[in-house]
Amino acid sequence: MDKKKIAVVEDEGIVAMDISKCLSNLGFEVVFVADSGEKALELAKISSVDLILMDVELKGKLNGLDTAKTLSEKQDIHVVFLTAFEDENTLKRIGELSPDGYLVKPFEDEQLKNTLMKVLGN
């Protein structure tokens, strides 16, 4: 069976490295890591990705919510949001954009694994 391909869109370098390492340890292939919405859109055009882990707050002009909205208009990619914010407005926007859900940072490796398995059906 092919490894599922995951992209990490996270503006904190250490957090992105941590998530990438965890994904590799869980048997997923990390296709790309981006720290801005603009970079994520560019890389998503040329990459085959099963799921994107998308931070809500990113570098650049596009936040994660706007990036996911643009992606969903162009490609059929699962998006799981990563957020440190649990305010009602943020959670409402996440719900509108992603039936795949979200993880609140910081999260445990097991939470990440369970969420990915649920979304990807493994």
Residue in 64, 75, 73 with CA at minimum distance from that of residue 16: 64
- Say how far apart CA 121 and CA 74 lie, in whole Å: 23
Measured at the CA of 19, the angle between CA 70 and CA 80, to 5 degrees, comes to: 35
Please state the pTM of the whole predicted model: 0.92
**Contact predicate 18/108, CB 8 Å:** no
Give the model confidence (pLDDT) of 43-92 as tens digits.
Answer: 999 999 999 999 999 999 999 999 999 998 888 889 999 988 778 888 88
> What kind of fold does domain 5-120 have according to CATH?
Rossmann fold (3.40.50)
Give the model confidence (pLDDT) of 82-107 as tens digits.
Answer: 988 778 888 888 888 877 888 999 89
Per the model's pLDDT, the better-predicted residue between 77 and 40 turns out to be 40
Supply the Cα-derived Rg of the chain in whole angstroms: 13
Beta-ladder partners of 59: 36
CA distance readout (Å), 49 to 15, 62, 92, 105, 121: 20, 20, 25, 23, 15
Residue in 111, 71, 22, 6 with CA at minimum distance from that of residue 63: 71
Among the listed ranges 20-29, 94-103, 107-116, which one has the minimum average pLDDT value? 94-103
- Say how far apart CA 66 and CA 98 lie, in whole Å: 12
Residue 122: predicted pLDDT:
62
